[in-house]
């Protein structure tokens, strides 16, 4: 006796979705082709493709079309070549199967090919004009290619891109414009990653607070339990109306009420405040603990400077999603010690130079800023917020010359720092800068 097949019959809509899921990543999808292959109406095919897009298994971009992609994750933290193509309004000439690969860094091909290939490795993106040999060399070294100026490339290069699953993209924009677009996108990803809100870190298991009618003796007892001396004061509806600290209690009798001693209308934050904003607020106001309130100023909890700084330090230790201009500029530099002073030494690559063959002032300013950050981190554990940079550029820095950076902290306090940064090339001073900044520690 034969056994009946109990598997339910798939609708045409479900058949199309299953067919799309079976396609390899990078495959182009069209309504007309789906309708023809599965013998369905174009309307049915269109609706199924839209649902597949909502499910994150296909994506549609202008000039690229609809492409089968890996299912999107909830937390996309990397820039893919597919997104690069969309950012620069590019056309994919070949290597579509590699569109879902991640971009590690980009290299501007404004140099001879032998020199250029030294900076290219797997996961790179070479931004270059109409140079077929450079296209081929980049692909052979595991890098994708972005051709600027709207140029095409040869069928041979396209076949190579397809075989290696490395995208080759053409954009009508010039090299500087596409590099700026990609750099901005990388920064945006890094910024989004670093934005953590107070609601992500606040603990509400125990809230320490007092009433205006509480006494100094009650404050002292609560301080022992809380482990800190900054206690919010709330009214009968749990709204924050004040704050008391050890400074407020100096010379106060044990039976004295907090109503006469508290600081009224204290600084507060809400759950949607970013951790970085809370840290900066603590720095500017010189306070170590902030009450967290809702829209009606009702107390939800507190966050301390120590808690906030631990979160910021954790974020800073996380791996980055891709290299930005600043990362690439600083990458060749290594630390050295001379006469018990920290310095940094590196060679100026062709990518850092202007059309005149000298290192641009923008690159030198970036190096000055990076050196200031690093010397501050070594001497005082905390964060640095630069207020002003005054720089004198004395001599040009030549391409591929060695640059030595010597930062020195002139003055540092709990809130401020002055840092002098000197740049030397070929045994002469080429630039000197004075950096003034706000600092705040994690204590």
Domain boundaries, the chain: 12-68, 81-192, 199-315, 325-441
Neighbours of 54 (CB within 10 A): 9
pLDDT of residue 145: 93
Q: Is the pLDDT of residue 120 over 90?
A: no
pLDDT at 3: 40
Nearest to 28 by CA among 84, 66, 59, 63: 66
Distance CA 128, CA 125 (A): 9
Distance, in Å, from the CA atom of 232 to the CA atom of 420, rounded to the nearest integer, reads 42
Confidence at 419, pLDDT banded by 50, 70, 90: very high
- Dist CA 150 CA 136 (whole Å): 18
Superfamily of the domain at 325-441: Hotdog Thioesterase (3.10.129.10)
Backbone angles phi, psi at 62, to 5 degrees: -60, 135
Flag whether pLDDT at 428 surpasses 70: yes
Half-sphere exposure of 8 (CA within 13 A, CB side): 5
Report residue 21: phi and psi, to 5°. Answer: -65, -30
Q: Do domains 81-192 and 325-441 have the same CATH topology?
A: no
- pLDDT tens across 188-221, in order? 666 555 567 888 777 655 788 999 999 999 999 9
pLDDT on residue 322: 47
> Residue 5: pLDDT band by 50, 70, 90 thresholds?
very low
Ranking 178-182, 296-300, 305-309, 371-375 by mean pLDDT, the lowest is 305-309
With a cut of 60, say whether residue 6 has pLDDT above it.
Answer: no
Q: What are the phi and psi torsion angles at 135 (to 5°)?
A: -60, -50
Backbone angles phi, psi at 301, to 5 degrees: 160, -170
Given a contact cutoff of 8 angstroms between Cβ atoms, the answer to whether 381 and 305 are in contact is no
| Contact indicator for 23, 71 with CB cutoff of 8 Å | no
Give the span between the Cα atoms of 176 and 148, in whole angstroms: 9
CATH code of domain 199-315: 3.10.580.10
Looking at per-residue confidence, does 331 or 403 come out higher?
403
- What is the average per-residue pLDDT within 107-126? 79
- Mean pLDDT (whole number) for 294-319: 76
Residue 8 has pLDDT above 50, yes or no: no
Burial level of 79, CB count in 10 A (0-12/13-18/19+)? Answer: buried
Nearest to 167 by CA among 235, 59, 90, 73: 90
Token pair for 55: 């499910």
Question: Does the pLDDT of residue 34 top 60, yes or no?
Answer: yes
What percent of the chain stands above pLDDT 90?
23
Which class does domain 12-68 fall in?
mainly alpha
Beta bridge partners of 343: 336
* Residue 75 confidence class, pLDDT cut points 50, 70, 90: very low
DSSP code for 359: B
pLDDT at 146: 94
Q: Which of 55-59, 176-180, 365-369, 439-443 has the highest mean pLDDT?
A: 365-369
CA-angle at 277, arms to 330 and 261, nearest 5°: 140
User: Is it true that domain 81-192 has CATH number 3.30.70.980?
Assistant: no
d(CA 119, CA 129): 17
Q: Please state, in angstroms and rounded to a whole number, the distance separating the CA atoms of residues 101 and 122.
A: 11
Predicted confidence band at 426 (pLDDT cuts at 50, 70, 90)? confident
């Amino acid at each position: 006796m034969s056994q009946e097949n109990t598997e339910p019959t798939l609708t045409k809509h479900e058949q199309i979705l299953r067919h799309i899921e079976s396609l390899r990543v990078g495959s182009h999808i069209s309504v007309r082709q789906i309708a023809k292959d599965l013998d369905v109406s174009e309307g049915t095919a269109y609706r199924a493709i839209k649902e597949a897009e909502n499910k994150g298994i296909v994506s549609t971009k202008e000039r690229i079309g609809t492409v089968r992609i890996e299912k999107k994750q909830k937390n996309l933290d990397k820039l893919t070549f597919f997104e690069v193509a969309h950012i620069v309004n590019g056309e994919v000439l070949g290597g579509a199967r590699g569109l879902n690969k991640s971009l590690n860094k980009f290299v501007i091909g404004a140099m001879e090919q032998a020199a250029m290939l030294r900076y290219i490795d797997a996961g790179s993106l070479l931004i270059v004009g109409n140079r077929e040999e450079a296209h081929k060399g980049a692909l052979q070294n595991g890098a994708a290619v972005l051709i600027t100026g709207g140029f095409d490339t040869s069928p041979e290069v396209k076949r190579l891109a397809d075989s290696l699953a490395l995208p080759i993209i053409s954009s009508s924009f010039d090299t500087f414009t596409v590099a700026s677009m990609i750099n901005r996108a990388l920064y945006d990803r890094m910024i989004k990653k670093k934005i953590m809100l107070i609601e992500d870190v606040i603990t509400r298991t125990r809230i320490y607070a007092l009433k205006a009618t509480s006494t100094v003796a009650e404050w002292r007892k609560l301080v022992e339990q809380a482990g800190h001396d900054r206690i919010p004061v709330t009214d009968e509806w749990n709204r924050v109306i004040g704050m008391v600290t050890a400074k407020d209690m100096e010379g106060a009798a044990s039976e004295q009420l907090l109503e006469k001693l508290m600081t009224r209308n204290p600084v507060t934050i809400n759950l949607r405040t970013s951790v970085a904003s809370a840290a900066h607020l603590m720095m500017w106001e010189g306070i170590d603990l902030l009450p967290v309130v809702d829209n009606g100023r009702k107390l939800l909890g507190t966050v301390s400077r120590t808690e906030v700084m631990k979160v910021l330090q954790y974020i800073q230790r996380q791996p980055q999603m891709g290299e930005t201009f600043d990362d690439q500029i600083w990458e060749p530099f290594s630390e050295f010690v001379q006469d018990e002073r920290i310095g940094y030494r590196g060679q100026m690559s062709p990518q850092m130079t202007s059309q005149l063959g000298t290192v641009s002032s923008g690159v030198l300013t970036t190096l000055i800023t990076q050196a200031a950050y690093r010397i501050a981190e070594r001497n005082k554990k905390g964060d640095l917020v630069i207020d002003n940079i005054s720089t004198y550029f004395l001599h040009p820095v030549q391409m591929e010359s060695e640059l030595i950076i010597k930062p020195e902290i002139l003055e540092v306090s709990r809130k401020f720092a002055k840092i002098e940064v000197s740049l030397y090339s070929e045994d002469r001073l080429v630039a000197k800068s004075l950096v003034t900044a706000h600092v705040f520690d994690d204590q």
